[in-house]
Amino acid sequence: MRPKSYSIFGGHGSKSGVEHAAEVIFTVCGFFAVLAVASITLYMIISGTPALFKVGILDILFGTIWMPAAATPSFGILYVILTSIIGTALAILIGVPIGVMTAVFLAEVAPERLTNIVRPAVELLAGIPSVIYGLLGILILNPLMYKIELKIFAGSTTHQFTGGANLISAVLVLALMILPTVINISESALRAVPQHLRSASLALGATKIQTIFSAVLPAAKSGIITAIVLGTGRAIGEAMAISLVSGSSVNMPLPFNSVRFLTTAIVSEMSYSAGLHKQVLFTIGLVLFAFIMLINITLNNLLKKGEESHDK
Amino acid sequence: MTNDIVIPVQKESAVTHSIYNQKNRISDSFLTFLIYLCASISIMVLVGIMGYVFVRGIPEISLEFLTTVPSTIKGTFGIVGNIVNTLYVVVITLLIATPLGVGAAIYLNEYAKGGKAVRIIEFTTETLAGIPSIIFGLFGYVFFGNTLGLGYSILTGALTLSIMVLPLITRTTQEALKTVPESYRSGALGIGATKWYMIRTILLPSAMPGIVTGIILAIGRIVGESAALLFTAGSGYLLPKDFFGKIFESGGTLTIQLYLCMQKAKYGQAFGIAVVLLVIVLAINGLAKFLSHKFNTEVKES
Amino acid sequence: GSKNAETQAPDTKTEAGTTSGTTANETTAKEDTATNLKGSISMVGSTSMEKFATALSEVFMEKYPSVTVQAEFVGSGAGIEAVTNGSADIGNSSRNLKDEEKAKGVAENIVAIDGIAVVSDPANTVDNLTKDQLINIYNGTTTNWKELGGADQPIVVIGREAGSGTRTAFEELLKLEDACKYSNELDSTGAVMAKAASTPGSIGYVSLDVLDDTVKTMKLESVEPTPENIKAGSYFLSRPFVMATKGEISEQSDLVKALFDYIYSDEGKDLVKAVGLIPAN
Amino acid sequence: MTTRVNYEHELSLLNHDIKEMGRMVETSIEQCFVAFEDQDFEKAEDIIKGDRTINDLERSIEARCLSIILRQQPVAGDLRVVSSALKVVTDLERIGDHASDIAELILRIKGEHVYHVVRHIPSMATAAREMVRCSIEAFINQDLETAKQIEKQDDVVDELFDKVKNDVVDLLKHSNEHIDQCIDLLMVAKYLERIGDHAVNVCEWTEFSKTGALKNVRIL
Amino acid sequence: MTTRVNYEHELSLLNHDIKEMGRMVETSIEQCFVAFEDQDFEKAEDIIKGDRTINDLERSIEARCLSIILRQQPVAGDLRVVSSALKVVTDLERIGDHASDIAELILRIKGEHVYHVVRHIPSMATAAREMVRCSIEAFINQDLETAKQIEKQDDVVDELFDKVKNDVVDLLKHSNEHIDQCIDLLMVAKYLERIGDHAVNVCEWTEFSKTGALKNVRIL
Amino acid sequence: MNTNTVKITTNHLNLYYGTNHALKDVSLNLFTNKITAFIGPSGCGKSTYLKTLNRMNDLVPSVKIEGEVLLDEENIYDPRVDTTLLRKKIGMVFQQPNPFPMSIYDNVAYGPRIHGIKNKSELDDIVERSLKGAALWDEVSDRLKKSALGLSGGQQQRLCIARALAVEPEVLLMDEPTSALDPISTLKIEDLMDELKEKYTVAIVTHNMQQATRIADNTAFFLVGEVVEYAPTTELFTAPKDKRTEDYITGRFG
Amino acid sequence: MNTNTVKITTNHLNLYYGTNHALKDVSLNLFTNKITAFIGPSGCGKSTYLKTLNRMNDLVPSVKIEGEVLLDEENIYDPRVDTTLLRKKIGMVFQQPNPFPMSIYDNVAYGPRIHGIKNKSELDDIVERSLKGAALWDEVSDRLKKSALGLSGGQQQRLCIARALAVEPEVLLMDEPTSALDPISTLKIEDLMDELKEKYTVAIVTHNMQQATRIADNTAFFLVGEVVEYAPTTELFTAPKDKRTEDYITGRFG
Ligand SMILES: Nc1ncnc2c1ncn2[C@@H]1O[C@H](COP(=O)(O)OP(=O)(O)OP(=O)(O)O)[C@@H](O)[C@H]1O
Ligand SMILES: Nc1ncnc2c1ncn2[C@@H]1O[C@H](COP(=O)(O)OP(=O)(O)OP(=O)(O)O)[C@@H](O)[C@H]1O
Ligand SMILES: [Mg+2]
Ligand SMILES: [Mg+2]
Ligand SMILES: O=P([O-])([O-])[O-]
């Protein structure tokens, strides 16, 4: 046996101070997000619930008349909720297929040179402020919509003309706005599909298109769902871009009606409101918050389930 | 390839299933058409938007536009104040959010011992990422503005945005840390490095591209944000008189100014700002690409 | 707030709305303080008052270079709330204060009178409306311009959002509270201007000082919305611009006092006129 | 439990071939003396021819062993079985050779009756044949007990050889007539003795195949 | 070009051991006759003792071969070398055995002069020893040419054996005196003949080691 | 050469990746119901050669191919060839087990569905037959609807083989099919290949020379794009004709 | 048993991952200047055992360890033990070569730097010595400042060995160090290990049984957490005492 050079028993035998400090600091950082969400939730609840009880839960959630500043104010936000749901759903319905197909085009079909030009453009568009989309909505979409509106409802006495600021405009702006997000994330999901799955499919005699639709897309499913989740989040949470193009009146979410989304409801009246009106706006915030949580949790669960079923 | 060998035609019938039998599949053609259709729609729309913004915006841009602040008396307009404000907000937000986010990611990836704590933190981080900015706006307005009494100020805005971009930084850092192979950790610990030493010398350098990406994405988000800032940082456009004092004064970012211009129907100015924003985003994307490329090659070559 | 008022400014005896002239005493005081006043004033509130407020702050800051005046234009309600809870020195409001607001100790300092102009898209052939016609348009009885002698075109009714000072004043003056049928509820004066300008058949109302030729300005009862007509009382849509403070002006900091002094000075009145408004009183 | 179908199959073929070779060798020895007693010279010729088959079988077993080593990398028991097979066939082949040698001598001694004079050859033949039979059986079954006994039996064969030698010496002392035949008979005995030795070798390989040791010395 | 240091080393050790074993066997044979001619009975005893070393060396070479097979999975040339080594040592050991057997007989014949009567034994011994030497050399060097020649030389040894046999028969015909010695001498000749056979076997393994075929039949 | 009838012939095949001459004048025959192994150091062109046999190299943009490859005497590089049919006839199994992220059933049914089989009971039949053919049926028959990613590596690889069998190929190409597997799974797959050759013509690339000796009838040794030696496996591994072959298989060559 | 002096002793070691009893009463000795190999089917606890020897298992949250591990007769699970010192004495090399994304030089100098060596020329010395010890110096001496990631797999693994040597360990633990390498690199590393055992005590986990036979002095066969048999390698691979060992090494056991 060679002489023992030194013993493994250290002087202290435990971690040094730096180690401990580092761990504590990182732990605190880790729980900061929890703190933030907790306080946001808390604030939303504190600010949002009083009105809920003052006005009555049913009256707020299922009331259809929004007259917050009237002598006998009325705070029904059913139409607002419906607008958000329907508007977002429609935007997703339009934006996602186009976005996914475009992603397929970029990731699978397009020649590399074209992809190299288009992809940075898409990335750029994902980064531009949403208000710019709103700007274009006002300037291009609204006048166009008004022309259509005039045609369709010519002579109608019951229809209130909106000058093109309607649900469709908002939906189109939203659909357009989520497009870059959906394209980007779907494309990277598609690119992340291991090459060997494509080879496997081709080697079984599948054509390129069959490979894309039968092997690649299913394999990228979870990524595409993420794209949809983020798209949905962006659509439902967007406020500024559509506050100007949707007309912002509280109405039934019919295509040519001027409508108000949950987000726009807050943005447009927050500044002016006071008292109960303000509290109700926080209630709307709370509803929006609840919506987002609900969507996140359900989609997350869906995603996780999908993944789990593959993992084991 | 040599095609000079003539393959007798009768062979096709002789062999039971000849491979000479090309045919087109209708479903394939249809789906191909669909892909091309969707792609051209989105590409045209997206390219159209950019073109439109540039065409309308570039004529608006002038030296005055870029170097002055608006004046009602003189009836002039400029965005230098907003540019400065944007810088303030970006820098302060990052100063707050980066250490927190990176720290949280390190905690989640390296220290947390699995279980509930991690699940809660990850869930809340995800939730935070999903909260619409208008809610952050409300919260910042109430909490930082009113409760803490900071009013409309750059600090209120930056604090609000810090919370907002926190999940972005945490997540990208976490992803980057996750991609650092487990083997690096065991490699370092296996020769007797302490954990913090290992994090410092191996993990953080390896995760740097990811962290930088996270920061750049955060900058993008901050620059483009409007709803969360409108009620927090306000819309001030004056140049700072006092470097630190400005932090407590209101300051509208470019995007806020763009929104305000839109509201006032000053579309020309709005497009001018839009061009500036596009250029900034373009620069950020370019920077991100450059940095991640640089880091990557650095890691490879060094 | 005005944290950095270093020197005690000489006492000013001026009361809000009582004096209109500039005393020699004040002039010297101002010159005195011009070099010494330092700090910032924050005002929050009405979007209709944006033009007036920015012009005011610009001129005031030129006069007192060490002073910063910050103005946020988020709406009358928010302004009043801000001043109530102390997060702003001055709350701009384009309507009179409500009693419950006054009850919280907020003082109503009327700094100018504004008219509300009714605007339409430039191509509109109708250029005059009676009060009844206006009421019928806004309560949804009249839906097409041809009923008013114009082209066969649906009327797009544009208004402001609930809580807006302009909207409150407009609806009050026309006794239209809770009866308006808007097809667009936009959240700023500028947005109404823009929408009206770009939408054929539109009608909207905005503050007097923002009028320009992108829109057609309606005569009401054949009266043009001009300061003169408003002063004369022949144009019936007018309301005050209020710069509310927490407590009377005398209770404010020197900076704020100096600002109000300026507003009520001749120079200030000229400024009010210059931006197309009518000086208070 | 994996099967390694192929491998098992090859191993069983190997076993089968060794058994077959053993059977053939045994038969050779037996037939030798049958031929001699019956003076059936054709049978003797057959035996000599049969040796060629045995030689071929040796080659084929060797080839199979090497192929298994090449393809399957046997270890432990498998390696011992394969390598002892590789060695044991040498002994079997040699036994076959000796049987054929004996047959050749028998052809020469043909018709002579010296054989009856040398009394111990028949018992020697029986003993040797029995040893071969048992040793092959022991090898196939990896039966160490039997193997040990056979080793003892070799002493009997050796003793018998000495007796045969004495017989021959006696015979030669008494007559000069059958010198050639005597010497041939002596050779037959020598071959039988060698056959016993080879049977002992087979037993040694049995020990190795079972334990990895040869005469208690660990080889593998 | 990788070295596979260990593997090469083991292969070279194997080669060395075989050479060594060959050398020992050769010496044994040589010493046998030196001992006989010099009537040096101690030397004869040494030879008998030396056989034990040869046996041990056989075991150790076998062990080395199996170890190489187990550890290194030799293929191609390497596998042929290792497996032929595994086989060739049996022959070498047997040659050693025979040398020792001869030595034993020599001890018995001690002092007698019959040996000089049987004239062909010395040349037979020389031929056999030469065959062994050459065959081992051929094996080590994978020298097919030499190997072929040696196979031919075996016929010479076989012929010499027949001559010795005739010598012995003649001797016996003329006298009954030295029957034991004659028979022993015959046995010595038989052993030498077997040694020649084994040398031929070594040559066959040389062919295999070089080509993978035994007598032109592909085995590996 | 362990022969039978010729299934695939390559005549003077040259392949270039851009300027990289990856296959140099390769002429080989693959025989029906035999296993042919390809060995050689990394980068010598084994995979490339395998891929030329079912035109998977078509997907590489810069590739240029000269010479001919005949499948049952038809040139597979003829412009009239439908690669879909070709690849249906020549199945391929890859180094890493690569099941699709779907159920076991769907994985196996993938090929048949692509080729237009919709009928449920017919598909059931094919799936069962293929899984049995790949010696996997017993292990998975009770969880066909579970995700294929839940299988062990060896099972996944056998699933990939089943998936290839489901389209009823005539030739099975395997590129290092066991290099990602543990020794036990490897032995299972080797046994399986031995069974498969009864019905199919099999070509396999392997780094494991013992594997080649165990399963292949014929073996070709590649070196920088050339076929140095092509011979019956036993011959190649016991008495290679070329010094380079011997150096390589005895591990003296890197 | 191929013995010498005992370097590491484990007495009745039991290890639990939560409720999973991963090591069951393992008692073994590792001998100085010998190579000890651990074989066994996947999941039998080989890596776990190896990791208990330098307390890398400490990092797993739910782990519980009973029994003692003595290094030179000192219990490494004593609370006074400084794991940094312990791991300096007991180096580890992993399955996948895992050089840090730095230069070759920095990789090797990483360990010494941790342990406080700052002096440039001293570091130079250590780096050269370690690289020579890992038989890599000749191949990389002219590009020490280049990234380690540019090396081939086999070179990377030898770099990792050099990195481990640089802290002058007494024991070297290797967990399947060649499973990610091609046959040629594997042979190189095996040759290297044979050299290393002159100076170090080496323990290696391997799936490749031939490798164990080639390099190890003693071999332990693990099965579901138990040591079924521990014997000199040749003995274990030629005449295993336990039927389960024989079944495993002959490939009859899955
Ligand atoms: N898609 C490709 N583009 C360009 N060159 C390629 C491509 N694929 C392979 N090569 C080159 O062709 C040569 C042969 O590669 P191939 O993959 O066929 O080797 P291999 O024998 O399969 O090696 P390995 O054993 O590592 O799999 C190599 O030099 C390689 O770099
Ligand atoms: N960090 C861990 N947490 C929980 N269980 C573990 C952990 N690591 C290993 N195990 C379990 O302990 C047992 C032994 O694992 P170990 O990694 O030691 O096996 P192994 O013999 O090294 O296998 P392999 O050959 O696949 O590397 C397995 O059942 C494994 O699932
Ligand atoms: Mg390959
Ligand atoms: Mg392991
Ligand atoms: O912005 P307002 O003036 O309408 O409150």
CATH number, domain containing residue B94 = 1.10.3720.10
Backbone φ, ψ for residue B123 (5° rounding): -65, -45
pLDDT of residue F201: 92
CB contact under 8 A, F76 and B19: yes
Residues from F contacting D (CB-CB < 8 Å) are 184, 187-188, 190-191, 194, 210, 213-214, 234, 237-238
Residue A204's pLDDT band (cuts 50, 70, 90): confident
Of A57-66, C217-226, F120-129, G218-227, the one with minimum mean pLDDT is A57-66
Instruction: Quote ipTM for the complex.
Output: 0.74
Give the chains touching C; criterion: ≥3 Cβ pairs < 8 Å: A, B
Residue A197: the pLDDT is 87
Q: Residue G38's pLDDT is what?
A: 94
Instruction: Record the tokens describing residue B256, joined without a space.
Output: 């806020």
Whether residue C68 and residue B241 make contact (CB cut-off 8 A), yes or no, is yes
* C220 three-state secondary structure: strand
pLDDT, tens digit, for every residue of G164-180? 888 888 999 998 888 77
- G247 contacts on D by Cβ (under 8 Å): 1
pLDDT at B239: 82
Is D75 in Cβ contact with G249 (below 8 Å)?
yes
Q: Go through chain F and tell me how many residues it has.
A: 254
F66 reaches B (C-beta below 8 A): yes
Q: Cβ atoms within 10 A of the Cβ of C80, count? A: 30
Going along chain A from its start, the domains and CATH numbers come out as 57-311 (1.10.3720.10)
Q: Which residues of A touch F162 (CB under 8 A)?
A: none
- The pLDDT of residue A100 is 92
Work out which ligand 2 atom sits closest to the CA atom of G38: 21
CA of G222 to the centre of ligand 2 (A): 12
- Residue C56 Cα to ligand 5 midpoint, Å, equals 17
What is the DSSP code (8-state) at residue G143? G
pLDDT of residue G36: 94
Taking 3-state DSSP, the helix, strand and coil percentages for chain D, each rounded to the nearest 5, stand at 85, 0, 10
Is the separation of the CB atoms in G229 and G245 below 8 Å? yes
Residue whose pair of structure tokens reads 């049926």 in the numeric block: F137
Q: What is the pLDDT along chain D (220 residues), one digit of tens a residue?
A: 445 777 888 889 999 999 899 888 888 888 887 777 777 778 778 888 888 888 888 888 988 888 888 888 888 888 888 988 988 898 888 888 888 888 888 777 765 565 566 677 778 888 888 888 888 888 888 888 888 888 888 888 888 888 877 877 777 777 767 777 777 778 888 888 888 888 888 888 888 888 888 777 777 7
* Chain A residues near residue G80 by CB distance under 8 angstroms: 9-10, 13
pLDDT average, residue stretch G177-192: 80
G67 φψ region: left (φ > 0), alpha (ψ -120 to 50), beta (else):
left
Residue with tokens 């102390």: C86
Instruction: Pick the more confident residue, C217 or D186.
Output: C217
Mean pLDDT (chain G) is 87
Nearest to B19 among F65, F68, F81 (CB): F81
Beta strands G171-175; G90-93: pairing state: parallel
Q: Which of G31, G58, G72, G200 best tests the A interface by mutation, with the highest count of A CBs <10 A?
A: G72
User: What residues pair up with G219 in beta bridges, in sequence order?
Assistant: G37, G231
Per-residue pLDDT tens listing for chain B (302 residues): 333 333 333 333 334 567 776 666 788 888 899 999 998 988 888 888 888 888 988 998 888 888 888 887 777 888 888 999 998 999 999 999 999 999 998 888 888 877 788 888 888 888 888 788 888 888 898 888 888 888 888 999 999 999 988 888 888 888 888 888 887 888 888 888 888 888 888 888 888 878 887 888 888 888 888 888 888 888 888 888 777 878 888 888 998 888 888 877 788 888 899 899 888 888 888 887 787 777 665 554 44
Structural domain containing residue B113: 63-301
Beta-sheet pairing, C128-129 with C219-220: parallel
Q: Which of A135, A270, A289 is the closest to B262 by Cβ?
A: A135
Q: Using CA atoms, how far apart are residues E142 and E145, in angstroms rounded to an integer? A: 9
* Sequence ranges of the domains in chain F: 6-97+171-249
Per DSSP bridges, beta strands G6-17 and G20-31 are antiparallel
Q: Indicate whether F33 pLDDT > 50.
A: yes
Residue that wins the pLDDT comparison between G37 and A122 = G37
A244 — alpha (psi -120 to 50), left (phi > 0) or beta?
alpha
* Closest CA relative to residue G240, chosen from G229, G224, G227: G229
CB contact burial C157-176 (16+ within 10 A = b; e otherwise) = bbbbbbbbbbbbbbbeebeb
In the predicted structure, residue F94 carries a pLDDT above the cut 60: yes
Which atom belonging to ligand 2 lies closest to the Cα atom of G41?
A: 25
What pLDDT, on a 0 to 100 scale, did the predictor assign at position C248? 86
Q: What structural domains and CATH numbers belong to chain E?
A: 1-216 (1.20.58.220)
Residue B58 maps to a domain: no
pLDDT of amino acid C22: 41
**pLDDT tens digits for B124-149?**
888 888 788 888 888 898 888 888 88
CATH architecture of G6-97+171-249: 3-Layer(aba) Sandwich (3.40)
Give the model's confidence band at G222: pLDDT under 50 very low, under 70 low, under 90 confident, else very high: very high
Q: What is the pLDDT of residues A8-40, one digit of tens each?
A: 666 544 457 777 888 888 888 888 888 888 888
Distance from CA of F252 to the nearest CA of E (A): 5
Q: Is the pLDDT confidence value at C105 over 50?
A: yes
For the stretch D20-24, contacts whose Cβ atoms lie closer than 8 Å and that sit 24 or more positions apart, written own/partner, are D20/D57, D21/D54, D21/D57, D21/D58, D21/D61, D21/D89, D21/D92, D22/D92, D22/D132, D22/D133, D22/D136, D22/D137, D22/D139, D22/D140, D23/D136, D24/D50, D24/D53, D24/D54, D24/D57, D24/D96
Give the distance from residue A269's alpha carbon to the nearest chain B alpha carbon, in angstroms. 12
The pLDDT of G54-63, averaged and rounded, is 82
- CB of C75 within 6 A of ligand 5: the answer is yes
pLDDT of residue D10: 87
Q: Which residue of F has its CA nearest to E211?
A: F239
> E18-77, pLDDT tens digit by residue?
989 988 888 888 888 777 777 777 877 888 888 888 888 888 898 888 888 888 888 888
Residue contact A162–C184, C-beta within 8 A = yes
Residue E116 has pLDDT above 70, yes or no: no
CA distance, residue G242 to nearest chain A CA (Å): 32
The Cα–Cα gap between G79 and G167 comes to 23
User: Which residue, F41, G215, D79, D210, is CA-closest to E82?
Assistant: D79
The string of pLDDT tens digits covering residues E122-144 is 788 888 888 888 888 888 888 88
- State the count of interchain CB pairs (< 8 A) between B and G: 80
Evaluate whether B267 touches A135 at the Cβ level (below 8 Å): yes
**SS3 breakdown of chain B: % helix, strand, coil, rounded to 5?**
75, 0, 25
Q: For chains B and G, tell me whether 3 or more CB atom pairs sit within 8 A of each other.
A: yes
Answer whether residue B16 is part of any domain: no
**Which chain G residues are closer than 8 Å to D80 by Cβ?**
238-239
Q: Which of A4-13, B257-266, E196-205, F13-22 has the lowest mean pLDDT?
A: A4-13
- Has this prediction a pTM greater than 0.90? no
Distance, in Å, from the CA atom of B127 to the CA atom of B121, rounded to the nearest integer, reads: 10
Dump pLDDT digits (tens) for A94-149: 999 999 999 999 988 888 888 888 888 887 777 778 888 888 888 888 888 888 88
* Residue F71 to residue F50: CA distance in whole angstroms: 13
Of A201, A310, A312, the CB nearest to F101: A310
Mean pLDDT of chain C: 80
Binding site membership of C48 for ligand 5 (Cβ less than 6 Å): yes
* Model confidence at C24: pLDDT above 80: no
Cβ within 8 Å, pair D90-E86: no
User: Residue D8 and residue D10: Cα distance in Å, rounded?
Assistant: 5
Interface contact flag, C58 B72, Cβ < 8 Å: yes
Contact D87, D205 (CB under 8 A): yes
User: What residues does the ion ligand 4 have nearby, CB within 5 Å?
Assistant: G 47
Kindly tell me whether chain C and chain E come into contact, counting contact as 3+ Cβ pairs under 8 Å. Answer: no
